[in-house]
Structure 1
Amino acid sequence: MRVNGALGDWQSITIKFSGEVLPRERAEAFKGSMFAAYPGDLVFSKIDARNGAVGLIPSSIPKAVVTSEYPVCTPRADKLRPAYLHHLLRADHFKGELQRKASGTSGRKRVTPEGFLSLEIPVPSLAEQDVLITAYADALTRAEQLEREAEAIERAGWLAFETALGVAPPPPLPDRPVFVARFKDVELWSHEGMLRATVGDQGVRVATCPIVELGTVAAVSYGLQKSPTNRPGTHARPYLRVANVQRGRLILDKIKTINVPDADMASLRLEVGDILFVEGNGSRAELGRVALWNGEITDCVHQNHIIKARPQQSLLLPEFAMAWFNSEAGRDHFFKSGKTTSGLGTINSSVIRTAPIPLPSIAVQKALISELSAADTSAQAKRSEAATLRQSAWAAFESALFVPAEPS
């Protein structure tokens, strides 16, 4: 095809390793030869086909344009259903064959059009393809329904938790752009801060129990600051970094060490029931995220970008505190109080000490946590069922087409 200067209504594309074909932002024509591709055409990247960059042009791109690095094949409609071919390209057997077809120097191996066309693929009848596609699509539909049910269960659990405390969570933000704003409204979180200013701040209203500042029922402290003087040495101790502390959970697969003398361990050692807050993040949703320490690692400490709160457990259950500060109403305090520097939001120990928290009786805290945990367990069961359904449906699709390789 020939294009003079601008591409016009022709759309350049990119192919993800997942096989998804997406529009690419480019207005100027490519240098050299260009080729047309239309919905239903199969396109692959010579360099990245072995990594999964093989896909079908979607109907949302009526006129695609590619370079010679992206060969175009037009499947025969009397032999292949597009949906069947789309799934077939994702099969492990097919990807394995593609990798074997790649040739060239290491790091720049390519799959040639001749090599691609020499691949052998199973081609059942159109009726059989329809059966396979329908079975797989039905399984995915059921899995998506299970995931929606899980989300609904979680939302209901959090709503029940907040309702029992008499909490009014922050009002939802309108889904619209902001063109004009006062400078003082730009200070926090940019677009989100401006939208928050337009809807007002209802704050945290608690009608069913007292509300106190966290610092009145918990000791708040920083961790260790990394420096050349405390590199792992004679007294190397495991320590938590920001990456280890996620919302409501800890990721402990990668733990580093830092030097802490025995004399300092009493004040720095993490104890069961400690609540861990992340000091800074570029996302409002992640600022002040909270996890609970349950003694997973012996003699563990934490760096200074994680702030520790140790509750008086006769008044405040750690599990209840974590749940509260991971709720929309609980973490809104951090959004309002956080400071921003170059797009990074931060909170400090004073912000955490003054964070409001409802303080019902221990019995009520236990009951609320039990109900929230039950909702979470039910939601996770739905998600696990959905994941299993997806895996088994895909295994059934592949096993209908390919004979498992004999173990060597």
Structure 2
Amino acid sequence: MIEKKYSILQFMSFGELNKWNVDPVRSNMFHNVRYPTYQLKNILKRRKDLVKVEDDKLYKRITIRQYGLGVYLRDEVYGRDIGTKRQFIAKKGQFIISRIDARNGSFGVVPEELDGAIVTNDFWLFDVYEANIKYLMLLLSSSTFQEYWQKKSNGTTNRQRVDETDFLNSKIPLPTLVEQDRLVGNYYNTIQVAENNEKEALRTEENVDRIFSEELGIIDILADKEDPKYRFISFSKLSELSRWDLWNKKEELFSSKFKFTTFETIIKGAPMYGANEKATKKNSDVRYIRITDINEDGSLNENFVSAKNVDSKYLLKDNDFLIARSGNTVGKTLLYKEEMGKSIFAGYLIKYVLNVEKVIPEYVFYYTKSKLFKRWIISNQRIFGQPNINGQEYLKFPILIPPISSKNSNEVTQEKIVGKVSEMKEQIKKLRRNAVDLRQLANKQFEDGIFFEN
């Protein structure tokens, strides 16, 4: 008997219909799966353990991060401060879904520390049967299923809810428990390698700080003081004070090899604040660099925007040095390079022109990524309102400047430090790139193990 293949027509029994709408029917059909499909209602059992909220009782409440990033404590509040008095008790190990943000991956497993927490009816709680809950999490997080959930959601753009009946009638591919365990095991083995790469990147970053401390002969005076009185009181000469406020803290650092100088001794000209222009979609080849466009490692992200108006005085030149002056990222730095493309910079950034006769630009850049600079930032930012350090204040930040180069191979130089740090930065970049690739590979292998290519 010849088996008929239908590429245009699809069939389903009348009993499986719950809405007179073609989209739910189409989106419910997984034709490219390697395993039998079962309705979620055969795997998940909704739990509605009702609780009446009492005014004088303290309750834990739950929040679910999007994209499968976990279930966490939202807050702990007394019942008198909770508006909805009819809520439901969550139990550890239950599968929980936010019906509002299910399409964005807001689901997870209730952890032990949230056993007994309460949720409203916008959160669904399920006991799981005949399925590895980790398999279920990975499957529902997959790009294939996320596309399906987008079709299933209804409501306004930001408040789209998934219908419970639709959800439970949905079919998912369900291998045997042994096969589920294998798929999950392969996924987490790859993820473990990715995490090992990330840990190694962090260790390498710590080694970068160690290079500065060892090469520059840094001694942390405060850490070396054994006299108990220094734990509570520190002393400064009046001539050493640079600010008249509570947060003026003298750096308790000393170098056994070099003398601290200030940033103003290695720059040319005065600090320059950036353009006060509105960002627009890309409309020219001139990029408008804002604080948010600078990654923590000093690279630029992919969010290319233009300025409404481009004033040539803000155009950056090779080796111009930018420092963020305000906000939670105060002290973030960028060493501009011509290969970054033609650019101007925004008003919350300050530009300095480095004196290349005194410093290697990369040395200054790496120095500002070290704990030496970050420690100074914490000690000197004004914290009324948004953290802030202005252009003149940055001129006073202390920096150690070894000679640029030397014929003596044993002498500490900027060239030597830049060489070592650059090599480590490349290792860090490679490790993090590998970690990203491995995470993507883990997802692809999991999905390829379940779905055929369309």
TM-score w.r.t. length of structure 2? 0.71
Report the equivalent of 1:22: 72
Partner Cα distance (1:318, 1:100) in 2: 52
Partner Cα distance (1:273, 1:31) in 2: 58
**1:104-157 residue CA offsets vs partner (Å, 9 max, x unmatched):** 566554322211111111111111111122222222222211211111112112
1:97 is aligned, of 140, 148, 165, to 148
Report the equivalent of 2:169: 118
Structure 2 residue 216 is the aligned partner of structure 1 residue 165? yes
Q: Partner amino acid for 1:221?
A: A
Structure 2 residue 441 is the aligned partner of structure 1 residue 395? no
1:278 is aligned, of 302, 324, 345, to 324
Which stretch of structure 1 is more off in the superposition, 273-282 or 113-122? 273-282
How far apart are 1:162 and its partner, in Å?
2.8
SS of residue matched to 1:346: coil
How far apart are 1:3 and its partner, in Å?
2.2
**1:182-209 residue CA offsets vs partner (Å, 9 max, x unmatched):** 9x99833xxxx9xxx7xx8422x23334
2:246 is aligned, of 171, 174, 187, to 187
Sort the Cα spacing of 1:222 and 1:215 in 2 relative to 1 into closer, same or farther, 3 A: closer
Structure 2 residue 433 is the aligned partner of structure 1 residue 380? no
How far apart are 1:303 and its partner, in Å?
4.5
Q: Partner amino acid for 2:88?
A: F
SS of residue matched to 2:180: helix
Report the equivalent of 2:263: 214
Report the equivalent of 1:361: 403
TM-score w.r.t. length of structure 1? 0.78
Q: Partner amino acid for 2:400?
A: P
Sort the Cα spacing of 1:378 and 1:170 in 2 relative to 1 into closer, same or farther, 3 A: farther
Q: Spell out the pairing of 1:232-247 with structure 2 (5 A cutoff).
A: 240-247=289-296
8 Å CA contact 2:90, 2:110 repeated in 1: yes
**1:10-60 residue CA offsets vs partner (Å, 9 max, x unmatched):** 643232223322233243266364333322322323322222223332232
How far apart are 1:164 and its partner, in Å?
0.7
1:51 is aligned, of 83, 98, 104, to 104
How far apart are 1:359 and its partner, in Å?
2.2
How far apart are 1:385 and its partner, in Å?
1.6
8 Å CA contact 1:136, 1:393 repeated in 2: yes
Structure 2 residue 123 is the aligned partner of structure 1 residue 70? yes
8 Å CA contact 1:39, 1:61 repeated in 2: yes
Sort the Cα spacing of 1:297 and 1:2 in 2 relative to 1 into closer, same or farther, 3 A: closer
How far apart are 1:400 and its partner, in Å?
1.2
Q: Partner amino acid for 1:113?
A: E
Structure 2 residue 338 is the aligned partner of structure 1 residue 295? yes
How far apart are 1:377 and its partner, in Å?
0.7
Partner Cα distance (1:326, 1:370) in 2: 15
8 Å CA contact 2:52, 2:86 repeated in 1: no
8 Å CA contact 2:322, 2:333 repeated in 1: yes
Residues paired across the two proteins, number: 370
Report the equivalent of 1:317: 360
Q: Partner amino acid for 2:246?
A: E
Partner Cα distance (2:66, 2:276) in 1: 40
Q: Partner amino acid for 1:322?
A: F
How far apart are 1:300 and its partner, in Å?
4.4
Which stretch of structure 1 is more off in the superposition, 215-224 or 241-250? 241-250
SS of residue matched to 2:256: coil
- Computing the radius of gyration from Cα coordinates, the structure with the larger value is 2
8 Å CA contact 1:279, 1:288 repeated in 2: yes
Partner Cα distance (1:306, 1:105) in 2: 38
SS of residue matched to 1:74: strand
Report the equivalent of 2:237: none
